[in-house]
Amino acid sequence: MQDYLEISRASDLPNLKERIIYRTLEILPGFLSLITLSFALFFSWLRPVWVAIFIILFDLYWTLKVFYLSSHQIVSFRRMRKYLKTDWQEKLKDFPKCKDIYQLVILPMAKENWEVVEETLESLKNCVYPKDKMIIVLAQEESGGEAAEKIGELAQEHYGKCFHRFLVTVHPENLEGEVRGKGSNMAFAGKEIRKTIEKEKIPLKSIIVSAFDIDTKVFPQYFLCLTYHYLTAQNPERSSFQPIPLYHNNIWQSPALTRVVAASNSFWQMMQQEKPEQLVTYSSHSMPAAVFFGVGYPSNVVSDDSRIFWKSFLKFDGDYQVVPLYYPVSMDVVVGKSFGRTILNQYKQQKRWAWGCIEIPYIIFGFLKNKKIPLGRKIFHSLVLLDGFWSWACASLLIFFLGWLPLLLGGEEFNISLLSYNLPRLTGFILTFSMIGMITGALINICFIPPRPKKMSWLKNLSMILQWFLLPFTLIIFGAFPALDAQIRLILGKHLEFWNTPKPRKNYSR
């Protein structure tokens, strides 16, 4: 029995012993983060020499890690440029089966305006792929009301005849057992479109499902590149496919703070592409239809994009992987109607992403239940997950704040020591070298951002460079704080509800 695949929280488990185990695992990520920060504060007063030595070693470790990750970022960027220049249509000529592959694209939307929907559908219409092999589903929410209904009618009018099938679905509110959000909408839309697939007798092995956000705009040859990798994958029926997310749709109209956060997310994903053994589906991604329908897209969690991977991983006893696509898709940078609203929207989006910490109890509990996955793989993935969310919550705080704690709390005896005198100088010297990561990011960002609009001042180009001095601030405000927020919520059992990021198009810039 694989009932544990459908767990969303400890209270889902009827067995008291298992419920206690799962609840303990829910507390684990927040406990590790809070105990780290508490010890840093306490020992800065009690044992400042210990903490000072730890600071030096920790900063040195992160500097070396920055060099390591920057090398991955450069390699990934070069591969992305190569992929964009590749003629994927030519490469597919050696694969006659490509003519049988259908692309099923599901676009869940909430209350976005017509301009956002139109841009996405237009990019699908203009992509280089046979339109008679494309099935598009605009998955609306009942809560969208009359405005969403009118957008559905407009979409049918303008794009209904552009593809093999174009379907508009309406996900009802408050269905039992669901969590409101993208995942439940995707799952409902999947059930609706499967009726059409079965009626037309299209084999599931000939369909690739792309779970896209409504603002996801594909580059021209995305589906050709996807099809090539699907046909050449070692085990295509046990693989998801992850493109590189670029936040370019409205980059020139967005403020510097959110541009830095968006670019940092892109760069992190580029680095992850170089570590396929750790790669997990994120945001917009693609998978075989047999997996989408057979495993069941998660409708009871907020973090659906990562949960579908881990659910498949457990379902197939560890025989599941993510194939990195060094080909980009473009999405929106977070903006709001005012600067304050933009900051709030960015924080709430980051907290929703940080809520991915719910995968830690899900995966470790799943590993305890599934005896077929090798122990080594269980330990590896558990440690990678724990380290990732611990670093998200603690690393930037330890780097930028911890270095001053022994000086503030260590007392007179420590402050007159040679170590106290050299601590800020030594850590500052080490961290200066770590700026190579910021410089690498800034240069890569300049290389692939879209051209500046003609009516916009050239000073905006300068801000695209200077914005990277905001990185330490964004790492803390939009990194550590929302991560700690999410982990503390999980400790308290206050599960996060889905929050849909607003996607306005016209906004001020700074």
d(CA 289, CA 106): 12
> Residue 235: pLDDT above 60?
yes
Mean pLDDT of the chain: 91
- Joined together, the tokens standing for residue 48 give 């400042």
Overall CATH class of domain 95-255+280-349: alpha beta
**509: pLDDT confidence band, cut at 50, 70 and 90?**
very low
Angle in degrees, 0-180, between the axes of helices 339-354 and 256-273, rounded to the nearest 10: 20
**CB count, 10 Å around CB of 256?**
18
Query: Where in 70-161 does DSSP place strands (E)?
Result: 102-108, 134-141
- DSSP SS3 for 333: coil
d(CA 86, CA 57): 44
> Residue 510: pLDDT above 50?
no
Of 11, 35, 14, 24, the C-alpha closest to 368 is 24
Does pTM top 0.75 for this prediction?
Answer: yes
d(CA 23, CA 53): 35
Which residues, including other chains, have CB under 8 Å from residue 503's CB and lie 6 or more apart? 112, 113, 116, 214, 215, 332
- Joined together, the tokens standing for residue 470 give 């905001």
- Joined together, the tokens standing for residue 358 give 């719910």
Of 442, 421, 440, 431, the C-alpha closest to 401 is 431
**330: pLDDT confidence band, cut at 50, 70 and 90?**
very high
Query: Which amino acid is present at 81?
Result: R
pLDDT of residue 118: 96
Tens-digit pLDDT profile for residues 180-202: 899 999 999 999 999 999 999 99
212-226, 266-280, 325-339, 424-438: segment of lowest average pLDDT = 424-438
The radius of gyration of the chain's CA atoms, rounded to the nearest angstrom, is 24
Of 212, 225, 217, the C-alpha closest to 101 is 225
- DSSP SS3 for 105: strand
Phi, psi of 55 (to 5 degrees): -60, -45
Mean pLDDT of all residues in 107-130: 95
Q: Do residues 153 and 209 make contact, with C-beta atoms less than 8 angstroms apart?
A: no
Tens-digit pLDDT profile for residues 303-318: 999 999 999 999 999 9
pLDDT of residue 506: 58
- Max distance between CA atoms of the chain, in angstroms, equals 81
118-122, 269-273, 458-462: segment of lowest average pLDDT = 458-462
d(CA 501, CA 32): 29
pLDDT of residue 507: 42
Of 221, 207, 227, 219, the C-alpha closest to 245 is 219
pLDDT, greater one: 115 or 419: 115
Mean pLDDT of all residues in 25-50: 90
Query: Which strands, in side-by-side order, build the sheet including 102-108?
Result: 165-171, 134-141, 102-108, 207-211, 285-288, 239-246, 321-330, 217-218
- Joined together, the tokens standing for residue 480 give 């550590």
pLDDT of residue 431: 67
